[in-house]
Amino acid sequence: MKSRFLAGPYIAWMAIFTVVPLGMVVYFAFTDNSGAFTFANLTYAWEYWPVLLRSVWYAVAACLICLVVGYPVAYVIAQSTASVQRVLYLLVTLPMCMSFLLRTLAWVALLRDTGLINSFLGLFGIGPAPLIRNSGSVIMGMVYNYLPYMIMPLYTVIAKLDPRLIEAAQDLGCGSFQTFRRVVLPLSVPGIVSGITMVFVPAVSTFYISQKLGGTEDIMIGDIIERQFKGNLNQNLGAAMSLILMVLVFISIGLMNRFTDDEEVATI
Amino acid sequence: MSKELIRLVDCRMDFDGETVLDSINIYFNDSEFLTLLGPSGCGKTTTLRIIGGFLQPTSGDVLFDGVRINDVPPHKRRVNTVFQKYALFPHLNVFENIAFGLRIAKVPEAEIRERVAEMIGIVSLKGFEKRKPGQLSGGQQQRVAIARALVNRPKVLLLDEPLGALDLRLRKDMQNELKRIQQQLGITFIYVTHDQEEALAMSDTVVVMDRGRIQQIGTPEDIYNEPKNAFVADFIGESNILDGVMRADYVVEFFGRKFRCLDRGFAKDEPVDVVIRPEDVDIVPPDSGHLCGTVTSVTFKGVHYDTIVDFRGFKWLIQTTDLHQPGEYIGIKLTPNDIHVMKKSVYSGMFGDYSSYSAEYDEINDPDAVIGGEESPEEALNEE
C-alpha cells in the first residue's frame, strides 16, 4: 500500500536510531569492560536507589503541580473564543521556542543570592532568601519547563468536549461545580493521563535543571547517568542505570494507562 | 380543560444584531403535545432553548405557572431536555446516564434503582443497563436520552429534533412510542422538528414558524386544511398556490374563471392566494373539465402518481392513483371545498408554480358563470 511506502523512511530511521541503540544499551548494561556477561552493573546501579527515588518524587511533584496549575489554564483557553484561543495557546507554547538551557540559566539569574529577586528584597533589608539550591527550586524549574506539555493535551481534550454535554448536565440539575466534577473532569481524564505522561517522562530523567537550580543534595538520576558517560567513563554502569530508568518509565506509563483502559474515554 | 403552564410574552432574540426571534407570543398548556415546526433558521430551536433556560431573550418575559423565570438557570427549572443527537454522557453506562439527574438531586439509592428500572421498562431497554452509549444503536441512544430526561418527572419535556438522526422506519416507531409515553405520563411535550409529517402525526397543537415569527398556531387538521398564508400552505404538504381575486363572499376568480368556495369576509375584488392540494384535484375527460391541460411528467410514488399538468404555462401538481401518460390532454374538476382562499402575505408569489396567468382561459367558456354551481357552500358540502 502507498501509505506503508510513505511510512518507510521513518520506520528505517526508527530501526537505525532507536531500536539498534536500545539493543546497545541492553548489551552494555549486561556486560563488563571486556564484553563478558555480568549482572554487576545492575547490582551496582541499584545502590543509587535513593537518587532514583528522589528523581521519581521530584517528577511526581512537578507533575501534580503542572496539573493543578495547567488544568484551569487549559480550561480557560478552551472556553475562549477562537481568536483569543489562538493568542493564549501561542503564549503557552512561546517559551518552548527559546532554548531550554537559556531558560534554566535565566532562572539562576533570577533566584541566586545575588540575583534579581534577592537584590530587590535586599533594598528593604530582607534576605538573601534561600531561593535556589534546594528541592523547591528544582521542582519549580521542572514545572516551568514542562508546563506546556501538560497544558497542550488538556486543552485538546477539553476543547473537543461537546458543549451539549455540559448543557445536558445543567439541564439535569447540575450547578457549575457539579457539572465540572461529574462531566467535564471525568471526560478530561485522557488529557490528564497524556499530560502527566508527557511531563513525568522528561522530568524523571532530567539532569540539567537539577545541576543548575539544585544543591548537592538534589542530584537526580539523570545527572548520575550523565556523569557515567562524561566523567567516570563507565558506560556499562550508565547503560544499566538507563535501563532501570526505562523500565521504571514503562511501568509508570502502564499504570497511567490503566486509568483510560475504558475504551469510550480513550477514543475521545 | 388543561391549564396554562408556560407563556412567552413578546419574546425577542437578537444574535449579533440579527433578529432570530421577533415578538413571540405563545402559551403552552399542561399535558399538551405541542410542536414547533419550521425550516432551519426559523427560530424554533431558539424558542426551545429560551424555555430550557440556555438562552435569555433579548426582551420579553418567560412565565412558568405565572411566575417570571427569565433569570432562573437551567438546573433550577422543572424542565428537562432531550437534546439533538442525544448528548449522552459517554463515560457513564445506561443506568448511570438515566440516574444522573436523580443522583444530583440526592434521591435515596433505593428510590433511584426503582425509578431508573421503571424508566428502563417504559423505554424498553431492559438488559442494556451496563452498556455504554457508544455500544448502543441510534434508536437505543434516543430512548436513553428520553428516559434520562423523564426520570426526573419534569413538568415539561423539551425535545429538539430528537428523531432527526434515525432512519425512516425507526422514526415511525419512535413517533408512536413518544406519543404513547406522553399520553401515559401526562407530561407536556414541546417538540421541535422541521418534518411536517412528524408534526402532524404526533401533535395536539402545531406552531408553524418562519423567519423568527409564528406563522400559524392550530391543530394539525387546522394547519393542513386552513393554512393562513402561502408559507404554511407550502411547508405543510404540497400545494398549488395561485393568484386569485375574491369577487364576492364564496366566489373566487382565478385563471379567468369564477369558482365557488367556502371562504368569506374578504373585501370585494381583494387579491388573494388560492391553495389547491394536489390530492384534492379530480382528473376527468377534457370535455367535462373546469380547466384543461397537458400532462408533462409522471412520477410513481408508491401510493400515487405525482402528475405534473401544464395549464398553458402554469404547472400544477396533481396526485392521483390513475396513471395518465405524459402528453395526454386532460380536464380537472374542482369542488368548493377543494379550494382554499388565503389573504395575501409577504410570502405570496414565493411558493407553488407561479408562471404567468394565461389569458387564453378567458375564451374557454362564459367568463361569468360560477363553476361549482350557484347554490350556497353549505349545500355544496352536503352533497359530498
Is B83 a residue whose pLDDT tops 80?
Answer: yes
Q: Name the residue facing B104 among A172, A187, A264 (closest C-beta).
A: A172
Q: What is the pLDDT of residues A237-252, one digit of tens each?
A: 999 999 999 998 999 8
Q: Is B104 on the interface with A (CB under 8 A)?
A: yes
**Residue B113 included in any domain:** yes
3-state SS class at A134: coil
**Residue B375 included in any domain:** yes
CA distance A267 to chain B (A): 10
Based on the fold, state whether residues B9 and B125 are members of the same structural domain.
yes
Based on the fold, state whether residues B257 and B291 are members of the same structural domain.
yes
**Residue B231 included in any domain:** no
Q: Which of A165, A170, A172 should one mutate to test binding to chain B, selecting the residue with the greatest count of B CBs within 10 A? A: A172
> Which residues are bridge partners to A92 per DSSP?
none
Compare all CA atoms of chain A with the CA of B101 and give the residue at the minimum distance. A172
Q: What is the pLDDT of residue A57?
A: 93
CB B52 within 8 A of CB B76: no
CA distance A199 to chain B (A): 25
Give me the mean pLDDT over the B3-19 stretch: 89
Is B215 a residue whose pLDDT tops 70?
Answer: yes
Q: What is the pLDDT of residues B40-58, one digit of tens each?
A: 888 999 999 999 999 999 9
**Interchain pair A171, B75: CB under 8 A:** yes
Compare all CA atoms of chain B with the CA of A183 and give the residue at the minimum distance. B89
Q: What is the mean pLDDT of chain A?
A: 88
CB B148 within 8 A of CB B171: no
Q: Name the residue facing A178 among B80, B85, B104 (closest C-beta).
A: B104
Q: Is A180 on the interface with B (CB under 8 A)?
A: no
**Interchain pair A164, B83: CB under 8 A:** yes
Based on the fold, state whether residues B197 and B329 are members of the same structural domain.
no
CB B122 within 8 A of CB B148: no
Q: What is the pLDDT of residue B237?
A: 81
Number of separate domains in chain A:
1
**Cα separation values, B219 from B36, B211, B224, B264, B351, Å:** 12, 21, 9, 21, 23
User: What sign for the dihedral angle of Cα B72, B76, B77, B80?
Assistant: positive
pLDDT confidence of B369, banded at 50, 70, 90?
low
**Residue A43 included in any domain:** no
pLDDT confidence of B165, banded at 50, 70, 90?
confident
Query: CA end-to-end span of chain B, whole Å?
Result: 33
Is B367 a residue whose pLDDT tops 50?
Answer: no
**Interchain pair A172, B84: CB under 8 A:** no
Q: What is the pLDDT of residue B169?
A: 83
**Interchain pair A167, B81: CB under 8 A:** yes
**Residue A187 included in any domain:** yes
Q: What is the pLDDT of residues A27-44, one digit of tens each?
A: 999 998 888 888 888 888
What CATH number is given to the structural domain containing A110? Answer: 1.10.3720.10
Give me the mean pLDDT over the B191-220 stretch: 92
Q: How far apart are CA B95 and CA B130, in angstroms?
A: 7
Is B144 a residue whose pLDDT tops 80?
Answer: yes
Q: Name the residue facing B90 among A173, A174, A268 (closest C-beta).
A: A268
Residues of B with Cβ-Cβ distance to A263 under 8 angstroms: 134
Q: Exposure pattern of B44-78 as b/e (b: 16+ CB <10 Å)?
A: bbbbbbbbbbbbbbeebebbbeeeebeebebbebe
Based on the fold, state whether residues B153 and B257 are members of the same structural domain.
no
Which H or E element spans position A175?
A: none
Percent of chain B with pLDDT over 90: 37
Q: Name the residue facing B83 among A168, A186, A263 (closest C-beta).
A: A168
**Residue A41 included in any domain:** no
Where a domain ends, among B225, B257, B287?
B225
Query: Which among B3, B338, B320, B35 has a CA at the least distance from the CA of B197?
Result: B35
CA distance B104 to chain A (A): 6
Based on the fold, state whether residues B172 and B286 are members of the same structural domain.
no
**Residue B307 included in any domain:** yes
Report the residue count for chain B: 384
Report the residue count for chain A: 268
Based on the fold, state whether residues B194 and B283 are members of the same structural domain.
no
What CATH number is given to the structural domain containing B24? Answer: 3.40.50.300
Query: Which among B242, B267, B266 has a CA at the least distance from the CA of B338?
Result: B242
pLDDT confidence of B372, banded at 50, 70, 90?
low
Q: Is B87 on the interface with A (CB under 8 A)?
A: yes
Q: How far apart are CA B341 and CA B228, in angstroms?
A: 9
What CATH number is given to the structural domain containing B299? Answer: 2.40.50.140
Instruction: Please indicate whether residue B355 or residue A63 has the higher confidence score (pLDDT).
Output: A63
**Cα separation values, B346 from A86, B163, B238, B243, B342, Å:** 44, 31, 19, 14, 12
pLDDT confidence of A196, banded at 50, 70, 90?
very high
Give me the mean pLDDT over the A94-115 stretch: 89
| Secondary structure, 3-state, B201-220 | HHCCEEEEEECCEEEEEECH
Is B375 a residue whose pLDDT tops 60?
Answer: no
Based on the fold, state whether residues B311 and B268 are members of the same structural domain.
yes
Q: How far apart are CA B217 and CA A192, in angstroms?
A: 51
**Residue B230 included in any domain:** no
Q: Is B141 on the interface with A (CB under 8 A)?
A: no
Q: What is the pLDDT of residue B34?
A: 94
pLDDT confidence of B113, banded at 50, 70, 90?
very high
Q: Which of A171, A183, A268 should one mutate to test binding to chain B, selecting the residue with the greatest count of B CBs within 10 A? A: A171
Query: What DSSP character marks residue A47?
Result: T
Based on the fold, state whether residues B202 and B58 are members of the same structural domain.
yes
Residues of B with Cβ-Cβ distance to A160 under 8 angstroms: none
Residues of A with Cβ-Cβ distance to B89 under 8 angstroms: 165, 168-169, 183, 187
pLDDT confidence of A1, banded at 50, 70, 90?
low
Based on the fold, state whether residues B295 and B206 are members of the same structural domain.
no
**Interchain pair B89, A165: CB under 8 A:** yes
Residues of B with Cβ-Cβ distance to A186 under 8 angstroms: 91
Residues of A with Cβ-Cβ distance to B100 under 8 angstroms: 169, 172, 182
Q: Which of B92, B98, B100 should one mutate to test binding to chain A, selecting the residue with the greatest count of A CBs within 10 A? A: B100
Q: How far apart are CA B146 and CA B191, in angstroms?
A: 12
**Residue A19 included in any domain:** no
| Secondary structure, 3-state, chain B | CCCEEEEEEEEEEEECCEEEEEEEEEEEECCCEEEEECCCCCCHHHHHHHHHCCCCCCEEEEEECCEECCCCCHHHCCEEEEECCECCCCCCCHHHHHHHHHHHCCCCHHHHHHHHHHHHHHCCCCCCCCCCHHHCCHHHHHHHHHHHHHCCCCCEEEEECCCCCCCHHHHHHHHHHHHHHHHHHCCEEEEEECCHHHHHHHCCEEEEEECCEEEEEECHHHHHHCCCCHHHHHHCCCCEEEEEEEEECCEEEECCEEEECCCCCCCCCEEEEEEECHHHCEEECHHHCCEEEEEEEEEECCCCEEEEEEECCEEEEEEECCCCCCCCEEEEECCHHHEEEEECCCCCCCCCCCCCCCHHHHHCCCCCCEECCCCCHHHHHHHC
Based on the fold, state whether residues B215 and B315 are members of the same structural domain.
no
**Interchain pair B91, A265: CB under 8 A:** yes
Based on the fold, state whether residues B48 and B135 are members of the same structural domain.
yes
CB A52 within 8 A of CB A248: yes
Q: Is A258 on the interface with B (CB under 8 A)?
A: no
CB B44 within 8 A of CB B161: no
**Interchain pair A171, B134: CB under 8 A:** no
Q: What is the pLDDT of residue B382?
A: 47
Cβ-based neighbour number of residue A229 at 10 Å:
14
Where a domain ends, among B225, B259, B277?
B225
A148 lies in which domain range? 48-266
Q: What is the pLDDT of residue B373?
A: 52
B270 lies in which domain range? 238-383
- Find which of A132-136, A153-157, B122-126, B287-291 is predicted with most confidence, using mean pLDDT: A153-157
Q: Name the residue facing B132 among A162, A264, A268 (closest C-beta).
A: A264
**Residue B379 included in any domain:** yes
Q: What is the pLDDT of residue B359?
A: 30
Residues of B with Cβ-Cβ distance to A183 under 8 angstroms: 89
Is B360 a residue whose pLDDT tops 70?
Answer: no
Q: Is B70 on the interface with A (CB under 8 A)?
A: no
Q: Is B155 on the interface with A (CB under 8 A)?
A: no
CA distance B29 to chain A (A): 21
Q: How far apart are CA A35 and CA A43, in angstroms?
A: 17
Number of separate domains in chain B:
2
Based on the fold, state whether residues B12 and B88 are members of the same structural domain.
yes
